Each structure stands twice: as C-alpha cells, then as structure tokens.
C-alpha cells in the first residue's frame, strides 16, 4: 500500500458523546462507507489544529445506513485528548485512520471459558471483546468479567454494568479501591483491588483464556495471580500501552524489546512479553 494511503484520514462525524467520568467521554462516530475493526485494535484519531492520538476502538462497529458507527472512549492525558474531550461535541468532525494492530484472539479462544480483567480505562479496549462473545455466545464457555476502579464514580459504562449485573450469560464482579459515593444498580462486590477478585472465580484454568487491560502495575499483578491459579501463559493476553505516533511500525517510538506496540500489538500473550515487563522503565 502507498505510504500516502497509510496516513490518509477518514472523516468521522460525532453522533453522540457520553460523559463517563469527569475526564473521560465516549464518542460515537459515523464514518462513511464500510469500516471494520477487530476487538482490541486502535485508530489514530485526529483533531484538526491539535494533532492525533492512538485510541482503542471501544465498541463493535455497526452499520447505520451508508455509514459505519464506531465508539472511542477517550480520557484526558495530554493536549490532544484534552482538546477532544473538552471541545468536541455532537456534529463535530474528527479524522480517523486505521484500524491498526493486533487485537484479542477471540477466534483462537473459541470453546474456552473467557476471563476478562479490567482496571479503570482498561475496560474500553475490552468492551468490544465482551460484546463479541455475547453476540457469539454459543461459541464460548463461561464469561467472567472482573472490573475495578478507584471509586464508583470512575467506573466506565455504568448503564452497561447495570445490565451485565442482570445477565445470565456472564458473571460480573466489580471492585473499587475506595467506596466513596454510590451508583444505584451497579453491582459493587468488593472493596479492594480488581486483581483480588481473581481468587473468587470458579473457572477451570486449563480450559480458559484471560484478557487483561489496565495500568501496567495492575497487569503485572493480574498475570502473576492468573499463573498462580493455573492459567497458561500462552492463554493470558494483555493489551499494552506505549507512546505511538505512526501506527504502522515505522517511527519506533512504541518499541518494547523487538516488538512494536502499534504493529505487533497492542495485544500480546504474556509469554511473549513477560521478560520485557520485568524490566523497570522499559
């Protein structure tokens, strides 16, 4: 493919914006024509006059007439994300290019129990994987979702969590570090770290895969506890975050060892990256 096409943007019109937390919004965007993305992949999202940032696709793409609708959950972490979250509204136009990267291995995980472990904003890249399993429920075993945030007000997708809590097709366990505030109908099961919930799941680890995303310290702890529970390192998958600029493995800013996050990831089995994660600051 020509380099110019690799870096070309598609116009994306904002159809909906939902305030998730004081610094996080979910934007529903309409892109003309056909657009497909695997759960776990990301787009480069561009705001004219400010620049672009890598953002995980946070919902399964769906058709709306001649358009494809996609979701991006964006938290303020820098100038571009601040501009998007604070200034963009319904009717605004952003640029998107992608999707890029390797997503969650859902087809390879068919017939297995699926354990999702998410911390904070880490639920966003996992949300389309949960949706995919629910849409293809007969192809998977048990679905267990473990989700944690610092406080109830910082939980994402609160309305969906309420629905998950009533679902008989999955088991949801929610934890908060500090029980400040109360969200009606959101099932909060535990005060503490989300990784503490791993000991409470009733899953045969020999017939299961785990998908993990969140702060890196949480990812490391979750993977260690999953291995202690008997999960295979080949079936523990993590989504990692590094600074990404090009999205196609050219610039090298997202390199981790011999991997490029944007091209080879962001999803890896822990077996692939455990040696690199053991090195502080890498």
> In this structure, are 27 and 140 located in the same domain?
no
What pLDDT does 256 receive?
Answer: 77
- Please list, residue by residue across 64-85, b when 16 or more beta carbons sit within 10 angstroms of its beta carbon and e when fewer do: eeebbbbbbbbbbeeebbbbbb
- Please give the residue range of the domain that contains residue 261: 113-277
Q: Tell me the CATH number at 238.
A: 3.40.50.80
What pLDDT does 236 receive?
Answer: 98
Among 65, 100, 135, which residue terminates a domain? 100
> In this structure, are 96 and 119 located in the same domain?
no
**97: Cα within 13 Å, side-chain hemisphere:** 18
> In this structure, are 30 and 166 located in the same domain?
no
> In this structure, are 11 and 133 located in the same domain?
no
Question: What are the distances in angstroms from CA 47 to CA 12, 71, 255?
Answer: 10, 16, 25
What's the structural domain count of the chain?
A: 2
> In this structure, are 197 and 244 located in the same domain?
yes
Local structure of 61: helix, strand or coil: coil
pLDDT-derived band at 181, boundaries 50, 70, 90: low
Average pLDDT, rounded, for the chain: 91
Question: Does some domain include residue 107?
Answer: no
What is the spatial distance between Cα 276 and Cα 279, in angstroms, rounded to a whole number? 6
pLDDT at residue 144 is higher than 60: yes
Question: Does some domain include residue 221?
Answer: yes
Comparing 11-20, 106-115, 120-129, 251-260, the range with the smallest average pLDDT is: 251-260
Among 75, 100, 125, which residue terminates a domain? 100
């Amino acid at each position: 493919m020509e380099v110019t096409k690799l870096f070309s943007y598609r116009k994306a019109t904002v159809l909906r914006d939902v305030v998730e937390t004081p610094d996080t919004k979910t934007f529903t965007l309409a892109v003309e024509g056909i657009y497909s993305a695997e759960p776990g992949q990301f787009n480069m999202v561009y705001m004219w006059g400010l620049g672009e940032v890598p953002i995980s696709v946070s919902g399964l793409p769906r058709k709306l007439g001649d358009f494809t609708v996609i979701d991006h959950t964006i938290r303020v972490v820098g100038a571009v994300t601040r501009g998007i979250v604070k200034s963009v509204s319904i009717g605004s136009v952003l640029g998107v290019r992608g999707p890029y990267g390797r997503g969650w291995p859902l087809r390879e995980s068919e017939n297995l129990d699926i354990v999702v472990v998410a911390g904070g904003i880490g639920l966003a890249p996992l949300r389309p994987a949960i949706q995919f399993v629910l849409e293809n429920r007969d192809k998977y075993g048990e679905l267990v979702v473990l989700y944690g945030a610092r406080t109830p007000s910082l939980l994402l997708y609160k309305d969906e969590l309420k629905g998950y809590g009533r679902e008989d097709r999955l088991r949801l366990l929610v934890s908060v570090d500090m029980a400040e505030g109360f969200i009606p109908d959101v099932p909060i099961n535990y005060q503490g770290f989300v990784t503490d919930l791993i000991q409470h799941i009733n899953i045969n680890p020999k017939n299961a895969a785990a998908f993990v995303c969140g702060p890196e310290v949480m990812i490391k702890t979750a993977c260690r506890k999953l291995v202690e529970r008997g999960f295979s390192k080949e079936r523990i998958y993590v989504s990692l975050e590094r600074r990404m600029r090009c999205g196609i493995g050219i610039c090298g800013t997202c390199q981790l060892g011999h991997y490029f996050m944007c091209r080879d990831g962001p999803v890896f089995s822990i077996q692939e990256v455990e040696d690199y994660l053991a090195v502080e600051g890498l």
